[in-house]
Amino acid sequence: MEIRLAKTAGFCFGVKRAVDAVYEQVEKRRKRLEAGEAHVPEIYTFGPIIHNEEVVKDLEKKGVGVLHTEEDLDRLDDGIVIIRSHGVGKQIYDKLEEKGIPYVDTTCPFVKKIHNIVKTESDNGKYIIIIGNKEHPEVKGIKGWAKDRVSVIESEEEAKAFTLENSLSEAENGNKICIVSQTTFNYNKFKYLVEILLKTRYDISVLNTICNATKERQIEASRIAAEVDAMIVIGDKHSSNTQKLFEICEKACKNTYYIQTLDDLNMNQLQLKSVEAVGITAGASTPNNIIEEVQNNVRLNF
Ligand code: F3S
């Protein structure tokens, strides 16, 4: 029995950095409490640090709270806020500073780069188009670095319907557009939507800001799935990148299973007798200990 674990399985660089930062703050707080400091502020993440129930529950047990909305932040008078890898809009930084609340910024540097591009180009008068999912927190955050002239485009229909409300003059760069992408957007779809937008008469600059971590994970998962008899994809049921990974693996290997933790793994389903090789991959928000647990269990039971 051969187990093929994807090298790209689990946390990407940006997520690992963010999760490590929260545990670091938990540890610092513990030491301060132990030292008997009179006032040790509570820790909050702005949104769940990652899409993984296990990790979020573990942090909750360690006393880390979650601020879900801007209103939650409005109500906060004391604490340390951790900004997750998805990043946030400028207004959140402004609010934190206004309220004098200390924060730890774990925005992924690849996302920060998009914030900087959007801010600069928007300040220069350009219209900003973000290719991505409107509801995704990363996209909401990116949008928060543009002035008012900004659109989010996700579908062919939206790209075809796009027209620029010409509110600025030529001299103010009013007809110029800058296109960026959500880091986890599908490259082929991004290219297709950009091609549609380039057919307009506008002066458009395109910056492909898709992060390679997602693409590399998907390519490796698809390659492994095509070479094994059964494939296991580990990740939270709400994680969109894990769902995507599952779809990709299922195309290459009919025997693909989507599990959240070891408990979901029903070994009988894996058609033990006919299985010679099992592949394992995991979404960007799956911690290493869960991947290892699954891997060890598969090894022991085959
Ligand atoms: Fe950053 Fe790419 Fe991960 S943008 S958070 S390294 S998917």
| Tens digits of pLDDT across the chain (302 residues) | 899 999 999 999 999 999 999 999 999 999 999 999 999 999 999 999 988 888 899 999 999 999 999 999 999 999 999 999 999 999 999 999 999 999 999 999 999 999 999 999 999 999 999 999 999 999 999 999 999 899 999 999 999 999 886 555 565 666 899 999 999 888 889 999 999 999 987 899 999 999 989 889 999 999 999 999 999 999 988 887 899 899 999 999 999 999 998 888 866 566 555 788 999 999 998 999 999 999 998 888 76
- Residue 241 marked as a ligand binder: yes
85 known member of a binding site: no
- Exactly one of 138, 165, 216, 227 is catalytic; name it: 138
> What confidence score (pLDDT) does residue 167 get?
54
- Spell out the SS3 assignment of the chain: CEEEECCCCCCCHHHHHHHHHHHHHHHHHHHHHHCCCCCCCCEEEECCCCCCHHHHHHHHHCCEEEECCHHHHHHCCCCEEEECCCCCCHHHHHHHHHHCCCEEECCCHHHHHHHHHHHHHHHCCCEEEEECCCCCHHHHHHHCCCCCCEEEECCHHHHHHCCCCCCCCHHHCCCEEEEEECCCCCHHHHHHHHHHHHCCCCEEEECCCCCHHHHHHHHHHHHHHHHCCEEEEECCCCCHHHHHHHHHHHHHCCCEEEECCHHHCCHHHHCHHHCCEEEEEECCCCCHHHHHHHHHHHHHHC
138 is catalytic: yes
Burial of 105 (0-12, 13-18, 19+ CB in 10 A): middle
Ligand 1 atom having least distance to the Cα of 13: 6
What's the 40 CA to ligand 1 centre distance in angstroms?
A: 31
Fold of 2-10+212-301: Cobalt-precorrin-4 Transmethylase; domain 1 (3.40.1010)
Q: Which atom of ligand 1 is nearest to the CA of 184?
A: 7
Q: Is the CB of 19 under 6 A from ligand 1?
A: no
Going from N- to C-terminal start, the domains of the chain cover 2-10+212-301, 13-107, 110-206
* Residue 50 Cβ contacting ligand 1 at under 6 Å: no
239 is in an annotated binding site: yes
Q: 12: annotated binding-site residue?
A: yes
Which of 110, 29, 12 lies closest to 65, judged by CA?
29
What is the whole-number distance in angstroms between the Cα of residue 14 and the centre of ligand 1?
5
How far away, in angstroms, is 72 Cα from ligand 1 center? 26
From 17, 86, 108, give the residue whose CB has the most ligand 1 atoms within 8 Å, as the site to mutate: 108
> Within the chain, what is the greatest distance between any pair of CA atoms?
71
Q: What is the pLDDT of residue 172?
A: 61
108 labeled part of a ligand binding site: yes
Ligand 1 centroid – CA 273 distance (Å): 39
Q: How long is the chain?
A: 302
Q: Which residue has the tokens 């047990």?
A: 61
Q: Which atom of ligand 1 is nearest to the CA of 15?
A: 5
Q: Which residue's CA is the closest to the ligand 1 atom numbered 1?
A: 14
How many other C-beta atoms are found inside a 10 Å radius of the C-beta of residue 33?
11
Q: Is the CB of 14 under 6 A from ligand 1?
A: yes
Give the pTM: 0.86
CA of 39 from ligand 1 middle (Å) equals 35
Tokens of 76: 């906060």
Q: How many CB atoms lie within 10 A of CB 212?
A: 12
The CB of 183 under 6 Å from ligand 1? The reply is: yes
Fold: same for 2-10+212-301 and 13-107: no
Buried b (16+ CB within 10 A) or exposed e, 169-185: eeeebbbbbbbbbbbbb
Multiple choice CATH, 110-206, 3.40.1010.20, 1.10.357.10, 3.40.50.720, 2.30.30.140: 3.40.1010.20
Q: Which two tokens stand for residue 40?
A: 């040790």
CATH architecture of 13-107: 3-Layer(aba) Sandwich (3.40)
Give bridge partners of residue 150 from the DSSP assignment. Answer: 128
Give me the pLDDT at residue 268, please.
57
As a whole number of angstroms, the distance between CA 147 and CA 119 comes to 8
